[in-house]
Structure 1
Amino acid sequence: MADRKTSVGQATLRKHSVAEEPVTSVLPGGDVPINESGHEWSADEETLAALGYKSEFKREFTLWSTFCVSFAVLGLLPSFASTLYYGMGYAGTAGMTWGWLIAMIGIQSVAASMAELCSAMPTSGGLYYASAVLAPPGWGPFAAWITGWSNWLSQVTGAPSVNYGTAAMILASASIQNPEYVPTSYQTFLLTVCLMIIHSCMASLPTRWIARVNSAGSTFNIIALIIVIILIPAATDRVSRGLPRFSPSGEVWGTIYAGTDYPQGISILMSFVSVIWTMSGYDSPFHLSEECSNANIASPRAIFLTSSVGGTFGWFLQLVVAYTVVDIDQALTSSLGQPFAAYLIQCMPQSIALAILSITIIAGFFMGQGCMIAASRVTFAYARDDCFPFSHIWKRVNNLTQTPVNAVWFNSAIGCCLLLLIFGGELAIGAIFSIGGCAAFVAFTTPIFIRVFFVGNRFRPGPWNLGKFSLPIGVVASGFVALMVPILCFPSSTGADLNVSTMNWTCLVYGGPMLAILVWWFVSAHKWFKGPKVNIAHLMRDQDPSVIEGKDPSSDGDREPQTFIADEKAAFS
């Protein structure tokens, strides 16, 4: 990389050209000014500076530890247990077997396209930043606004929904051991809030401690998955109940359970809510890229690995359950209120069922921790660009831990408020799950859609890219989400059977806040929100270097350091 020194008065500046760096620079010509203060900038710092930000975190995440956080957020085992009602209840075992494979084609396309964007723009703003940079002229702030808020709604509901599911499994275990015990809403609320507080404390630790905890948690998740996938078929006692050890393949793959009032094809598509919600956490490496070394390669690899490894293990888990389930109706309507727990009781001894449920609970604990970390990084990135009220508080980095502690507790407080829905019954608390899949994939696909249909071949990819398959895969990803967003809003009942207790609340729970956010944009936000901001003072080529010190050479007064909003043209080579 060529260096060029320029002396102006007493100031000596060095410009490092990033023309050959695999980044989408916001500066004309790709130049990054670096003060010669004795600090040697790493490649990661130069890449981030080219995107318009200064490095504020210690880069103590590696490919493995980043993958671990992402895989912990994915939480295959607890996610599967929490969404079994949809995967099995809408289309039966057919939706769990070949239905999962079909869904993974679209999901893996989304993950691959997202990883390509991450390689070009490795910043914690993630999808929100990419939407702003890639949008057509004049549309960047609006694209960032929609993407950012949709992603944040998904992130901020992640930890409370996961922790609620974990608390429900803990209390269901108690009910299995003591059938006379019936958990109350108050007990469920307190247990869930307790988990939220524990995870908030853990997410406030220094980065290296978080990385170690999540490495251990993700390792446990992988081991637990393998144990459960082996243990279920090995321990099933269907034979003692007068059934074959496994259900016939023709029945497992060919029978579609009539779980909705729609045609079978629509029922299969509706069952995709299980895999979509389960696989909605692989964007975490994008948001952790500013804490990862070799970010423009390690972070996209972590995204792609999380989706592919998670999809493969998830399908194996679906298979073992599909081949061993005894009675789908009984599992869905059991008094335990937990379909996965009811399934375990009907096909294996109680002691083994409790052991598997215990493993799932521990995995759920680590998943909730990962969700809390990812959400805090998203909140920090958006607060850094003044998206929230009191953003100056939420964007502070703690001097002791070098992590966004304020953002962690901001999300935790909102999550605990959402958990008050527990007192409104299962229908009310279920609303926080509805946001997950829909909000996440809308945010995932918005920059992908813009990149495919508005930027095309003018996009400059990073070192991890899809080459000539980039546009076709992006088209598949966009089409998949465009199809699934309306499907996710379908109620399972129609006609006279459709009422308040059977309707799908996704439209209201997700659409209501997003409608308010749109109104906010047109009424007020469009006047002051200009998209991602840069917080490092840039020296433009041939410009007076006194600007970098915050001084206007034509004035005796002080002025704010000049900053530059990400220009959509900067994404083009």
Structure 2
Amino acid sequence: MASALNTSGSGSHRKRSVAEEPVTSVLPGGDVPYDPDHEFSADEEVLAALGYKSEFKREFSLFTTFCVSFAVLGLLPSFASTLFYGMGYAGTAGMTWGWIVAMIGIQSVASSMAELCSSMPTSGGLYYAAAVLAPPGWGPFAAWITGWSNWLAQVTAAPSVNYGVAAMILAAASIQNPDYVPTNYQTFLLTTFIMILHGIMSSLPTKWLAQINSGGSTFNFIALVVVIILIPAGTDRESRGLPKFTPSSEVWGTIYEGTSFPPGVSVLMSFIGVIWTMSGYDSPFHLAEECSNANIASPRAIVMTSATGGIFGWFLQLVVAYTVVDIGDVLDSDLGQPFAAYLMQCMPQKIVLAILALTVIAGFAMGQGCMIAASRVTFAYARDDCFPLSKYWKQVNPTTRTPVNAVWFNCVIGILLLFLIFGGSIVVGALFSIGAIAAFVAFTIPIFIRVFFVGNRFRPGPWNLGKLSIPIGVIASGFVALMFPILCLPSSTGADLTPDLMNWTCLVYGGPMFAVIIWWFVSAHKWFKGPKVNVEHLMLGRGDNVVEGKTKDNDSGSDVPQPDSKAIEETHST
């Protein structure tokens, strides 16, 4: 079947096949899903070249995809929810120059991810990329580890965000009525209620979701700018006998001793706030099958989200660092929410409540975006039978054309995770650490494979880094390798380390991932084949079923998508 796109050559125009689309195609020659009654759009051809059929309406544009991604990023509510770590581990030094250092690594990860997205714009995202890029025989295992790690990051995103939103709502009530002290039980019920609301909203049709998230993201951005301006303009530190702003020498040079580790390690530990806050930029990858011009718009949205978030996030860090009065009181406040406690130190009560209201609304929009992104990930993995009962989670609702079953599957898992609230603030904090570690592991596995195994044989899409691809990929891989053990360190050591102060990330993340690896070697390697074609066309039934572009894995007995040798050597212009 010929593509509808025309390409020019030597003054003439010719039709090109789907296999020649500017993506890492798994299809040889021109074997494509053929429907004589349907003319393929450019985006459908690109997805067909990846071995899938289009099942969603492409009603996301570059802007609306960026809106969802920026809503998932949720700078203001993310910062408010993770202030305990960003400020508590290293103080204002970690918030100022520490943010800049962390953003070098994060932007490298985002850029390398965008390059993969342009080459393979499918909702399977990093999971699909890991399988395609892995050495022969390792594709299914790479996809298995990447997929489960990414799913853990996605499924913990909405509950962690909504927990922060609920805590801020109850903190506002406590400010209004100083006699009221929020309980874990009330926080749990309010967070569960918000989760159910998001589940209902995420089950709506794609067009409605795009509009809702555009509005939510716009509000998120406006609220962020308002708060960045309002904090330095409205601070009443002077009426409390303090200078309007803390001297720069203290802000940039003083490292708060929030951990038992040396100052340098404490700064690295504070990166959890940066990493978790900036972990939503992968959303355009998962929405690629609902985005028009996906192999260009989606990677652009990834880079735009990371860059915009990095710049405005740093501005927010600066205004807070220059106005905070006492870090110890912020962390130990009875309000149960460090951001609210910080605001009470340097702002009049009416402005405090106004900022909290803006943050709560922005956080609600962020939680909604997180649930949408998570449902697309669950759908994509269930489509390849990654989960138990995958046949239910991969169903697309015929009315809304959205994966409603996947939405509610994630919603129930998220509510169960919220029982960590009853273990205290340190235990429920594992939700944030899991999100940071799980996301970074999933982000980096395909980047690492692409840099150290595929090298110059990588077939880039129309958006790519050119000669900077390998160096940026090395920086991204090195940054994640450094941060993985750092994010598992407890804030206390020796005799001061008690169970309630333990960093439970290694258990809450490591436990499920260890079980997943055991599951692979015991059973999953026999039946899990990784990303696979779910459309009927000639390449599935030709001869001995082994054709160019799809090779048989002799070790695991599974089909591993491989670009054909000719395609690997091709260089596609942008």
TM-score by length of 2: 0.92
Contact conserved, 2:19 with 2:49, CA < 8 A, in 1?
Answer: no
Distance 2:2 2:442 in 1: 38
Query: Residues 90-120 of structure 1: CA distance to partner in whole angstroms, max 9, x if unpaired?
Result: 1111100000000000000000000000000
Distance 1:539 1:317 in 2: 55
The structural deviation recorded for 1:189 is: 1.6
Matched, 1:25 2:55: no
The structural deviation recorded for 1:327 is: 0.8
Aligned to 2:514: 515
2:88 is matched by which residue type in structure 1? G
Aligned to 1:531: 530
Query: Residues 165-186 of structure 1: CA distance to partner in whole angstroms, max 9, x if unpaired?
Result: 1001000100000011122222
Distance 2:226 2:136 in 1: 52
Distance 1:383 1:247 in 2: 52
Aligned to 2:296: 297
563-572 vs 161-170, greater mean Cα deviation: 563-572
Distance 2:19 2:531 in 1: 22
The structural deviation recorded for 1:251 is: 1.1
Aligned to 1:73: 72
1:392 is matched by which residue type in structure 2? K
How do 1:147-546 residues align onto structure 2 when only pairs under 5 Å count? 147-540=146-539
Contact conserved, 1:60 with 1:291, CA < 8 A, in 2?
Answer: yes
Contact conserved, 2:24 with 2:563, CA < 8 A, in 1?
Answer: no
Distance change (3 Å), C-alpha of 1:41 and 1:233: same
Distance change (3 Å), C-alpha of 1:148 and 1:234: same
Aligned to 2:555: none
Query: Residues 185-206 of structure 1: CA distance to partner in whole angstroms, max 9, x if unpaired?
Result: 2221221111011101110000
Contact conserved, 1:140 with 1:568, CA < 8 A, in 2?
Answer: no
500-509 vs 383-392, greater mean Cα deviation: 500-509
Aligned to 2:562: 567
Distance 1:160 1:323 in 2: 31
Distance change (3 Å), C-alpha of 1:3 and 1:347: closer
Contact conserved, 2:32 with 2:49, CA < 8 A, in 1?
Answer: no
1:322 is matched by which residue type in structure 2? A
1:374 is matched by which residue type in structure 2? A
Distance 2:430 2:541 in 1: 55
Distance change (3 Å), C-alpha of 1:187 and 1:538: same
1:24 is matched by which residue type in structure 2? T
The structural deviation recorded for 1:148 is: 0.2
Distance change (3 Å), C-alpha of 1:538 and 1:16: farther
How do 1:75-154 residues align onto structure 2 when only pairs under 5 Å count? 75-154=74-153
Query: Residues 46-84 of structure 1: CA distance to partner in whole angstroms, max 9, x if unpaired?
Result: 010010000000000000000011111111001000111
Other structure's SS at 1:157 match: helix
Distance 2:232 2:425 in 1: 32
Distance change (3 Å), C-alpha of 1:232 and 1:138: same
Query: Residues 503-548 of structure 1: CA distance to partner in whole angstroms, max 9, x if unpaired?
Result: 211111111110010100011101111111110123249958xx9x
1:17 is matched by which residue type in structure 2? S
Contact conserved, 2:168 with 2:360, CA < 8 A, in 1?
Answer: yes
The structural deviation recorded for 1:260 is: 1.2
Query: Residues 439-481 of structure 1: CA distance to partner in whole angstroms, max 9, x if unpaired?
Result: 0000000000000000000001000000000000000000000
Other structure's SS at 2:32 match: strand
Other structure's SS at 1:501 match: helix
Distance 1:426 1:24 in 2: 45
TM-score by length of 1: 0.93
1:572 is matched by which residue type in structure 2? I
Distance 1:514 1:24 in 2: 29
Query: Residues 244-272 of structure 1: CA distance to partner in whole angstroms, max 9, x if unpaired?
Result: 11111111111111111111111111111
Contact conserved, 2:181 with 2:334, CA < 8 A, in 1?
Answer: no
The structural deviation recorded for 1:426 is: 2.7
Contact conserved, 1:185 with 1:423, CA < 8 A, in 2?
Answer: yes
Distance 1:495 1:564 in 2: 50
Aligned to 1:44: 43
Q: Following TM superposition, where does structure 1 have runs of at least 4 consecutive aligned residues deviating by more than 4 angstroms?
A: 1-4, 541-544, 568-571
Distance 1:446 1:542 in 2: 32
The structural deviation recorded for 1:422 is: 2.3
1:325 is matched by which residue type in structure 2? V
Distance change (3 Å), C-alpha of 1:55 and 1:524: same
2:250 is matched by which residue type in structure 1? E
1:538 is matched by which residue type in structure 2? H
Other structure's SS at 1:392 match: helix
Distance 1:248 1:415 in 2: 43
Distance 1:20 1:537 in 2: 19
2:568 is matched by which residue type in structure 1? F
Contact conserved, 1:16 with 1:32, CA < 8 A, in 2?
Answer: no
Distance 2:222 2:232 in 1: 16
**Count of residue pairs brought into register by the alignment:** 546
Other structure's SS at 1:302 match: helix
Other structure's SS at 1:381 match: helix
